[in-house]
């Protein structure tokens, strides 16, 4: 393969990573790692578990995003905000993206063999089906945002099961519930950009059904639940009852308020800043604080 061949291959890889917004892996991965770090306080640490969690998170998300782009390619082509995405714009072919999705699904199942207990492998098929299902939800329910929240809730729950099995599940479920409402809230914020388009196309979303102003209040209520569940998670997890993690939990509450201050029904220009920057700080901050607190405890 000559220089141009390598250059084309690198360009294609970069486009595929752009397609799945690889940088957004920062949303769910830190919660999976935090859940696993707590689990490792009661179980022997195995390098293969860490590699397996990292691999499964990346492959599962790549599959879900690629499948979503395939399922939405016609809708994206009609939406001015998304018409420049790779499939409607023709910069990546349907066959290539489909092959990428299948390859990541196979790799996800293969990565499940890294774990000592069989649960990840048993659950791999249902998880992939659930992740793919999200891409179809806007066709029949305005609760699509909650489906996405449940999909990301799987991150801490699945990581815990991979390390400990079905033991002391209240810990990952509380953390997962906080993730559920957190993701649901910020996905509602993000969907406000397409409220008019969704309503016109007959697609279901909370902004399309209730309007942008009421949707912002619903998103705020979801984030209030996130904060309350985070407090419950701290109370139920003695290893995290320390100044570092508690202080970070308070900071998360402040950041959630700040996120809602960035947007209003009359001005959605800063939705992307609220969507990515603030939420990346929240997820990475909780992971860092959790690791430090676990070390100190």
Predicted confidence at residue 270, as pLDDT, reads 79
In a domain, 12, yes or no: no
Predicted confidence at residue 6, as pLDDT, reads 65
In a domain, 3, yes or no: no
In a domain, 106, yes or no: yes
CA gap 291, 287 in Å, rounded: 6
In a domain, 221, yes or no: yes
Predicted confidence at residue 268, as pLDDT, reads 82
Tens of each residue's pLDDT in the chain, 297 residues: 555 566 678 889 899 989 988 777 878 999 999 999 999 999 999 999 999 999 999 999 999 999 999 999 999 999 999 999 999 999 999 999 999 999 999 999 999 999 999 999 999 999 999 999 999 999 999 999 999 999 999 999 999 999 999 999 999 999 999 999 999 999 999 999 999 999 999 999 999 999 999 999 999 999 999 999 999 999 999 999 999 999 999 999 999 999 998 888 888 877 876 667 888 899 999 999 999 999 998
The range of the structural domain enclosing residue 134 comes to: 24-296
What CATH number has the domain bearing residue 200?
1.10.357.140
In a domain, 207, yes or no: yes
In a domain, 18, yes or no: no
> How many domains would you assign to the chain?
1
Predicted confidence at residue 66, as pLDDT, reads 96
Predicted confidence at residue 1, as pLDDT, reads 56
In a domain, 11, yes or no: no
Predicted confidence at residue 27, as pLDDT, reads 85
In a domain, 10, yes or no: no
């Amino acid at each position: 393969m000559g220089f141009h061949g390598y250059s084309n291959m690198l360009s294609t890889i970069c486009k595929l990573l752009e397609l799945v917004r690889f940088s957004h892996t920062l949303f769910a991965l830190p919660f999976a790692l935090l859940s696993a770090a707590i689990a490792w306080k009661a179980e022997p640490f195995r390098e293969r578990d860490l590699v397996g969690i990292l691999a499964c998170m990346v492959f599962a998300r790549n599959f879900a995003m690629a499948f979503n782009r395939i399922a939405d390619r016609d809708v994206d082509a009609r939406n001015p905000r998304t018409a420049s995405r790779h499939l409607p714009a023709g910069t990546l072919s349907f066959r290539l993206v489909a092959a990428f999705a299948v390859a990541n699904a196979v790799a996800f199942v293969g990565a499940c063999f890294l774990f000592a207990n069989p649960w990840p492998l048993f659950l791999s098929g249902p998880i992939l089906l659930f992740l793919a299902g999200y891409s179809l939800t806007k066709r029949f329910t305005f609760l699509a945002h909650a489906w996405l929240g449940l999909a990301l809730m799987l991150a801490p729950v699945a990581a815990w099961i991979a390390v400990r099995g079905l033991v002391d599940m209240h810990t990952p479920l509380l953390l997962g519930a906080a993730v559920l409402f957190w993701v649901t809230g910020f996905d509602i914020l993000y969907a406000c950009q397409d409220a008019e388009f969704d309503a016109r196309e007959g697609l279901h979303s909370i902004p399309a059904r209730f309007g942008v102003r009421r949707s912002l209040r619903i998103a705020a209520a979801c984030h209030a639940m996130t904060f309350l569940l985070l407090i419950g998670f701290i109370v139920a997890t003695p290893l995290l009852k320390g100044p570092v993690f508690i202080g970070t939990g308070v900071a998360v509450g402040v950041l959630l308020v700040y996120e809602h201050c960035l947007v209003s029904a009359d001005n959605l220009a800063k939705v992307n800043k609220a969507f990515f920057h603030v939420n990346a700080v929240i997820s990475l901050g909780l992971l860092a604080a959790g690791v430090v607190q676990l070390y100190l405890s």
